[in-house]
Structure 1
Amino acid sequence: MIPVFDGHNDFLLRLMANPARRDDIWLTGDGRGHLDLPRMKAGGFAGGFFAIYIPSPEAGDGINYEALMDAPPYLLPLPDPIPLERAQAVAMTMAGHLFWMERTGALTICRSVAEIRAAMAAGQIAAVMHFEGAEMIDPDLDALHLWHAMGLRSLGPVWSRPTAFGNGVPFAYPSGPDTGAGLTEAGKRLIAECNTLKIMVDLSHLNENGFDDVARLSTAPLVATHSNAHAVTPSSRNLTDRQLAMIRDSGGMVGLNYATSFLSPDGRRRPFAGWDPVLRHLDHLLSVLGEDHLGLGSDFDGATLPADLADAEGLPRLLAALEAHGYGRDLIEKIAHRNWLALLERTWGA
């Protein structure tokens, strides 16, 4: 079985929703969601970026967002910013769950590529602590250094709502990513400090002006951990060919997102059967990025997924579909894990 190192998952969010049952959810599996230890082992999920994400309060506006995303065109309103104090409290809770997972002996929080390789070789899940949105970091960046000391090695300045550091794209179809202003002055300082600390910067939810700001300021490879091709599905969350070329030219990386609304050419959220949308995105991404700059970024436990890739146990079926489509073993191994490890070596060092 080819191991998979994954660019993005939201398992910690699911774990936080019911901490009283976390042994069942993580160690034995409760049959819900997309990830747990038994299904990771069965599917060859060897590790990846575990997101710490601050959920927005329930809107209470009576809008059925799921129905809207099944009836394009749509433009969903963005939630309000999250206060720093609330974000820090939630982030600490989610980090606590990740450290608890390490204490179970089945997972290792990795701070270097050497640690990732060692964990994978030992049959442990290799976890990288990642922030999906930087609401838990103050504009003076003091908290960034604290989190780095705790193991933070990857960070997206924004989820889709605005932060002190910049603006994300709304969930919109059809739409391009040019949706607002770029990085704030605090955001520019954040990118510089992430470069100094060798924290990978994730562009997945950032709007086009913010993307361009990072590209101009950063000394590290450009990375989008869970994004797809705008040329195939014109969602605001997907990357244009211009952005893909900039990522390629920087020595960067894109992880294919399994979310149906970013895969389906019509932008609909409903699950689909078969592999055609997945393969169309992979083919296009390969044509622009080249084979050394593409990986997987599932969005497990954070999105609606295709029917044939309903959870981590579906990963061997995905890799089999790539082989049937004509991808060779070497390319499949690059997409599954080798490109991510090489990218992290370029970003972090060995």
Structure 2
Amino acid sequence: MPQAAAQQDYKKIHDNLVVVDGHNDVIIESILPGLDLSKRLSVGHTDIPRLQEGGVDVQVFAVWSDDKKFKKGAFAHANKQIDALEAMLAKNKDSMALARSTKDIEAIVASGKIAAVIGVEGGNMIESRIANLETLFNRGARYLTLTWNYNLPWASAAAIESSNSKASKGLSEHGKTLIRRMNTLGMLVDLSHAGEQTFYDVLAVSTKPILVSHSNAYALTPHYRNLKDAQLKALKENGGVIGVNFYSQFLDSGYSERVHRLYKKYAGKNAKTKLGITSKYLALPAVLRQQADAPLSSLIAHIDYLVKMVGVDHVAIGSDFDGIESSPQGLEDVSKFPILTKALLAHGYSVADLEKIMGQNFLRVLKENEI
């Protein structure tokens, strides 16, 4: 097939897919600060023109707050973010609408608009109260990521479980009660960021398939945010879905070393030794950032591995755009999703496989949680 025809073919295939991105942090990055998403922004990864260009049909908007900053007022902060999202949607009725169910998603996508879904990232925002969980569900939240990077009174986080052997692990009895209430509400339990013991405790309690919205394979990149093989096998038995994360550090074990090396060479005598990996990356000029970014092949390798471990019916997309500073080369923002379709097709995935990975698997697990 001539190159031009092949290029047109993948674009046509992508346009015919229902593309679901299961995790994006643009609320905290751009919407809450008051940026106009109706215009193409020069900052961040996400706006409506780029979502349209990327063929994104369903975007999950993460509601997030830093546990340390919001030891008090996290529930109010969650509601403030949903208010901001609703205000943005009200200004862009012709292009996007809030979906509260898979039936809503079908209708919105059929009308040519982008379906907006709310996901709450961090159980700190319910402040341990079932009533707050119910309020956020009633406002449209359709999954709760149980933890972020800190332990809660009722659930432990991967970041803490992996670094502090003396910290409490798993779900408390109240945590189990919260999981049961999520099941009866029809709210997905999201186990990205959750500690390993919390992961297994949830699977022992939940009567519904679970979501791991934005994580990868630990066997390829041994980071606490990724899932080990035993967890992946348990996920498959549960009927759940894992959404692959685009963050270079979760995709490529060589990322941190490249950033350190490039920063040291670039900064020279002015290098600040105490800077973390994120700060060093952001200090680099764009051309060096691109050299540090994970190759696109690393993302394909994680998808391959996850498909091998859990099957093509259990793998989805959870980019983490606007929550990450580095994404794979060629996937710089939400407008680039067709490049992923092109790469997967070139790698041997069928159109039927792509339909599942790029959207239908997420929609399936969402529907199976609905009541």
TM-score by length of 2: 0.81
Residue aligned with 1:27, SS: coil
Would the aligned equivalents of 1:12 and 1:52 in 2 still touch at CA under 8 Å?
yes
Name 1:342's counterpart in structure 2: 364
Would the aligned equivalents of 1:273 and 1:308 in 2 still touch at CA under 8 Å?
no
Shift of 1:169: 1.6
Shift of 1:142: 1.2
Would the aligned equivalents of 1:177 and 1:208 in 2 still touch at CA under 8 Å?
no
Residue aligned with 2:151, SS: coil
Cα distance per residue 1:95-148 (max 9 Å; x no partner)? 111111221203221111010111111122212111100112133411112222
39-48 or 339-348, larger mean C-alpha shift:
339-348
Residue aligned with 1:213, SS: helix
Q: Which amino acid in 2 is paired with 1:319?
A: T
Instruction: Tell me whether 1:95 sits opposite 2:117 in the alignment.
Output: no
Residue aligned with 1:305, SS: coil
Change (3 A) 1:202 1:273: closer
Q: State how far apart, in whole Å, the 2-side matches of 1:248 and 1:49 are.
A: 23
Name 2:313's counterpart in structure 1: 292
8-17 or 278-287, larger mean C-alpha shift:
8-17
Q: Which amino acid in 1 is paired with 2:317?
A: L
Residue aligned with 1:307, SS: coil
Would the aligned equivalents of 2:22 and 2:59 in 1 still touch at CA under 8 Å?
yes
Instruction: Tell me whether 1:323 sits opposite 2:345 in the alignment.
Output: yes
107, 118, 121: which one pairs with 1:132?
A: 121
RMSD: 2.1
Q: State how far apart, in whole Å, the 1-side matches of 2:217 and 2:70 are.
A: 29
Name 2:213's counterpart in structure 1: 225
Q: State how far apart, in whole Å, the 2-side matches of 1:266 and 1:171 are.
A: 23
Q: State how far apart, in whole Å, the 1-side matches of 2:41 and 2:210 are.
A: 37
Correspondence list, 1:103-252, <5 A: 103-104=90-91, 105=93, 106-170=95-159, 181-252=169-240
Shift of 1:323: 0.6
Residue aligned with 1:7, SS: strand
Change (3 A) 1:273 1:165: closer
Shift of 1:81: 7.6
Name 1:313's counterpart in structure 2: 335
Shift of 1:186: 2.2
Unaligned runs of 5+ in 1: 57-79
Would the aligned equivalents of 1:161 and 1:170 in 2 still touch at CA under 8 Å?
yes
Residue aligned with 2:73, SS: helix
Residue aligned with 1:32, SS: coil
Q: State how far apart, in whole Å, the 2-side matches of 1:124 and 1:278 are.
A: 28
The 4+ residue runs of structure 1 with deviation greater than 3 A are: 175-180
Cα distance per residue 1:303-335 (max 9 Å; x no partner)? 121221010111111110001111111101111
131-140 or 199-208, larger mean C-alpha shift:
131-140
The answer to which structure has the higher helix fraction is: 2
Q: State how far apart, in whole Å, the 2-side matches of 1:177 and 1:312 are.
A: 36
Q: State how far apart, in whole Å, the 2-side matches of 1:338 and 1:329 are.
A: 12
Q: State how far apart, in whole Å, the 1-side matches of 2:76 and 2:311 are.
A: 41
Name 1:64's counterpart in structure 2: none
Residue aligned with 1:301, SS: coil
Cα distance per residue 1:252-288 (max 9 Å; x no partner)? 1000000001000335266436422111101100001
269-278 or 91-100, larger mean C-alpha shift:
269-278
Name 2:244's counterpart in structure 1: 256
Residue aligned with 1:155, SS: strand
Q: State how far apart, in whole Å, the 1-side matches of 2:343 and 2:206 are.
A: 36
Q: State how far apart, in whole Å, the 2-side matches of 1:31 and 1:82 are.
A: 29
Name 2:63's counterpart in structure 1: 52
Shift of 1:181: 0.7
Would the aligned equivalents of 1:157 and 1:165 in 2 still touch at CA under 8 Å?
no
TM-score by length of 1: 0.86
Aligned length: 319
Name 1:265's counterpart in structure 2: 253
Would the aligned equivalents of 1:245 and 1:289 in 2 still touch at CA under 8 Å?
yes
Shift of 1:342: 1.4
Would the aligned equivalents of 1:205 and 1:237 in 2 still touch at CA under 8 Å?
yes
Shift of 1:223: 1.4
Would the aligned equivalents of 1:233 and 1:267 in 2 still touch at CA under 8 Å?
no
